[in-house]
Amino acid sequence: MSQKILLLPGDGIGPEIVGEARRVLEALRQHHGLDCELETAPIGGAGYDAVGQPLPEETLAQARAADAVLLGAVGGPQYDTLPREVRPERGLLAIRAELGLFGNLRPAILYPQLAGASALRDEVVAGLDILIVRELTGGIYFGQPRGVRRLDSGERQGYNTLAYSEAEIERVARLAFAAAQRRQGRLCSVDKANVLESSELWREVVERLAPEYPDVELSHMYVDNAAMQLVRAPKQFDVVVTGNLFGDILSDCAAQLTGSIGMLPSASLDERGKGLYEPVHGSAPDIAGQDKANPLATILSVAMMLRYSLGAAGLADRVEAAVGQVLEAGLRTPDLQGGTHRVGTRGMGEAVAARL
């Protein structure tokens, strides 16, 4: 039966990188029998421009009906002065919450061809393969109350709430323990339990689950140390599980270990494994519309989608192998150092599709 994939290009470089992901899906359809229907809908600033909402109702309905969703990125300076409730980023948070996508898998893998492109020395990053499991629908990005209030002094105060329930911690921790079982069997839970009550509970719940996963070696680390360890000795990590804000920050940091933020894909999964797939980076307004964006994070997100939502692990392997081949052939977008052939967004997408 044909599977329905919803494309949400979004803003900035979103349409360019999703265009290249689409090219890859079409190559798989043409040459490898992938049976899928592609639909496109607006989100973020594009949603606001179309109907005044960053997550149009119609887009959400299409996402619910789809077998998988591929998103580019949202946001841009032209939207930064809008009321917060209709800003593009709210649309992204809303679709994550509405679809119940609590588990965000962010693998940071160094392609051997990019060892020289990493900000760190070869020996520190060679063979790097980390999985960051970020809680995606709770924590300070969603906590209530939030807002800007007037103090008695007349001064304004901005405030947010960081809250995690036991159930929210448990379900993402189980996802991470299970991922560690399929990998090297090491799980590091990152928190700030020396200061935050929500982290103290986080650590307690993760610790309580550990006996159910005797084949996983569990450790804990404070987030400030984890940021330092990620650039000091990143290969000490196998799977990292952490909350929404800490995971957002640490995964951008891990991205740079792999050569560029343009290399990091992600999968956001619900309780039943239905997913939304998106690169880790944002809408990069500074390079939008210039054929400069690296589409590989989005193309690698297609690979994750094939593996986790479409039951096509063989095709996922093919896409990942094609990415390795174009890097081996020396192709590099401007964000990647080294190589022998400078290409743009389109050139990179065409080169991957041609190898499928």
Ligand X SMILES: NC(=O)C1=CN([C@@H]2O[C@H](COP(=O)(O)OP(=O)(O)OC[C@H]3O[C@@H](n4cnc5c(N)ncnc54)[C@H](O)[C@@H]3O)[C@@H](O)[C@H]2O)C=CC1
Ligand Y SMILES: CC(C)CC(=O)C(=O)O
Which stretches of the chain bind ligand X, using CB under 6 A?
13, 73-76, 89, 92, 261-262, 278, 281-287, 293-294, 297, 335
Q: Tokens representing 216?
A: 């996983």
- Look up 317 and say whether it is catalytic: no
Query: Would the annotation count 2 as a binding residue?
Result: no
Between 89 and 191, CB nearer to ligand Y: 89
| Residue for token pair 């001064």 | 155
- Look up 248 and say whether it is catalytic: yes
Residue 93 binds what, of ligand Y, ligand X, Mg ion, none (CB under 5 to 8 Å, by partner type)? ligand Y
DSSP 3-state assignment of 291?
coil
Between 74 and 176, CB nearer to ligand X: 74
- At its nearest, how many Å lie between ligand Y and the CB of residue 129? 20
323 binds ligand Y (CB under 6 A): no
For residues 86 and 81, give the distance between their C-alpha atoms in angstroms, rounded to a whole number. Answer: 10
Looking at 141, 213, 277, 308, which residue is catalytic? 141
Residue 73 binds what, of Mg ion, ligand X, ligand Y, none (CB under 5 to 8 Å, by partner type)? ligand X
Q: Tokens representing 243?
A: 């909350």
- Look up 238 and say whether it is catalytic: no
Identify whether the C-beta of residue 120 lies closer than 8 Å to the C-beta of residue 257. Answer: yes
Within a 13 Å sphere around the CA of 18, how many CA atoms are in the beta-carbon half? 27
Identify whether the C-beta of residue 285 lies closer than 8 Å to the C-beta of residue 12. Answer: yes
Among 20, 89, 191, 248, binds Mg ion (CB under 5 A): 248
* Buried b / exposed e along 317-355 (16+ C-beta atoms within 10 A): ebbbebbebbbeeebbbbbbeebeeebbbebbbbbbbeb
Over the window 74 to 93, marking each residue x when it contacts ligand Y by CB under 6 A and - when it does not, the resulting string is ---------------x--xx
- At its nearest, how many Å lie between ligand Y and the CB of residue 354? 30
For residues 43 and 7, give the distance between their C-alpha atoms in angstroms, rounded to a whole number. Answer: 10
- At its nearest, how many Å lie between ligand X and the CB of residue 286? 5
- At its nearest, how many Å lie between ligand X and the CB of residue 154? 31
Identify whether the C-beta of residue 91 lies closer than 8 Å to the C-beta of residue 41. Answer: no
Between 149 and 341, CB nearer to ligand X: 341
For residues 24 and 299, give the distance between their C-alpha atoms in angstroms, rounded to a whole number. Answer: 7
Looking at 248, 274, 308, 335, which residue is catalytic? 248
Residues annotated as catalytic (active site), given as ranges: 141, 192, 224, 248, 252
List residues binding ligand Y (CB under 6 A): 89, 92-93, 248, 280
Residue numbers belonging to the annotated binding site for Mg(2+): 224, 248, 252
